[in-house]
Chains A and B, each alone.
Chain A
Amino acid sequence: MIRELDTAIITENIKEMCIEANHYLSEDMKQALDQAKVWEESELGKKILNQLESNLEIADKEMIPICQDTGMAVVFIEVGQDVHFTGENIEEAINEGVRRGYTEGYLRKSVVSDPIERVNTKDNTPAIIHYSIVPGDKVKITLAPKGFGSENMSRVFMLKPADGIEGVKNAILTAVKDAGPNACPPMVVGAGIGGTFEKCALLSKKALTREVNCHSEIEWVANLEKEMLEKINRLGIGPGGLGGTTTALAVNINTYPTHIAGLPVAINICCHVNRHSVREI
């Protein structure tokens, strides 16, 4: 059965999700920050973690965005193959949702229309949209506003198969060390291993949208996530990069088959304001 879905519904949902994601942090992130206060060894680090908690409370109560960099809107949209969209074309419907969300929600417009000429589009469009076609008649939207303090510290490494898992570990540690205080630690580290040059980057971005208290279903990947979190927290970078034992709150890794000649690894870093909103329509 084909399900008809007016894209005006997508627009309305995207609008609400932009506002929601920028003012309320998800429960898993709040718990991770709460937990961090227990094991943080630095007094200054503890003080900063407490301030981040107050920041979330103020954002929620007074409707002030958690961070002034309300990001570029990254949209993952999984469309059931039995859905038939009616109304405005889907891409325009998504961008209209972003336009309304960022304007009506008092969010910062941070997008420029051309990377060199750099004229602000004044409505935070266009969004970065990743479509996928899935079974069923539902549409699942994950909206993740991405700030660029941490985006700028992200990396892709085209390793050799011989570099193996040690090469992957080094790549992740190198990216985090280089990011240091610039990425607003405590950070969430998303890594993509395998695929091609662009696929691993996409895997790492998607990894950031997974809840931070849940591990990969693949055993070696789950073990790597745990090991890397421990290693990253031994670097000493700490909250705000001002020293401490909480440099990352989580490491989320996604993998994909790859070519006999390659081992692509992407590390997408997010700050402690790892925002995302998920809805199924």
Chain B
Amino acid sequence: MDKRIELPINGEIAEGLKAGDYVYLSGEMYVARDAAHKRLMELIEKGEKLPIDLENAAIYYMGPSPAREGRPIGSAGPTTASRMDKYAPTLLDLGLKAMIGKGKRTPEVLEAVNRNKAVYFAAIGGAGALLSKCIVESEIICYEDLGAEAIRKIKVVDFPVIVVADCHGNNLYESAILQFKKEN
């Protein structure tokens, strides 16, 4: 079912999402990947304040290509989410509500999604040019020294994603494969 959602997503909105829903997101989200997550985790471990507000936040796992003149961002498709699995449960427990990436997650992440009434969306891997067109603003928030891995805040309009893991324990990667699997 196609849905349109304005960010931020809260627990109530997350509860209304089902694995398999095709969703167009509009609003603000953060962009962070491997190196930025490592730094956030180091701050959390030291008990220091984070440079981003995680309450009902959405994080898009992505590292863009450089923007051409007149464009807010370059190519901007999702990166493999499993590399953030080590960090995601902690961030979810601290208020993160939506993760956008591609690929499988660990049981620990999926449990944290359920526990916190959150959601894991997949964006279409390898569609960086198409997704770039849905991003209307982009600014670096911190860690500029990390280049493509800096933390950004972006504004998206009708950004297409698919609910892979909802907070009711459903996982589209598992169920959809069974539907189309044939004997070998």
Report which A residues bind B (CB closer than 8 A). 41-42, 44, 47-48, 51-52, 54-56, 58-59, 62-70, 106-110, 118, 120, 122, 147, 149, 152, 173, 180-182, 184, 231, 234-238, 240-245, 271-273
Contact = CB atoms under 8 A, between A and B. Distances in A.
Contacts of A182: 80, 82, 102-104
Interface of B: 20, 22, 35, 62-68, 71, 74-77, 79-80, 82, 102-104, 122, 124-130, 132-133, 146-148, 160, 162, 164, 172-173, 175-184
A237 B181 CA distance: 8
Interface of A (DSSP majority class): loop
A241 B173 contact: yes
A52 B104 contact: no
Contact of A67 (B35, B67, B126, B173): B126
A65 B82 CA distance: 24
Contacts of B66: 106-108
B164 to A, nearest CB: 8
Contacts of A109: 147-148
Given A243-B172, A243-B177, A66 B104 contact: no
A234 B183 contact: yes
A147 B102 CA distance: 14
B129 A55 contact: yes
A108 B63 CA distance: 8
Contacts of A108: 63-66, 74-75, 148
Contact of A149 (B74, B79, B148): B79
Given A107-B65, A110-B148, A149-B79, A236 B126 contact: no
Given A44-B162, A70-B65, A110-B148, A184 B126 contact: yes
Contact of B128 (A42, A67, A181, A237): A67
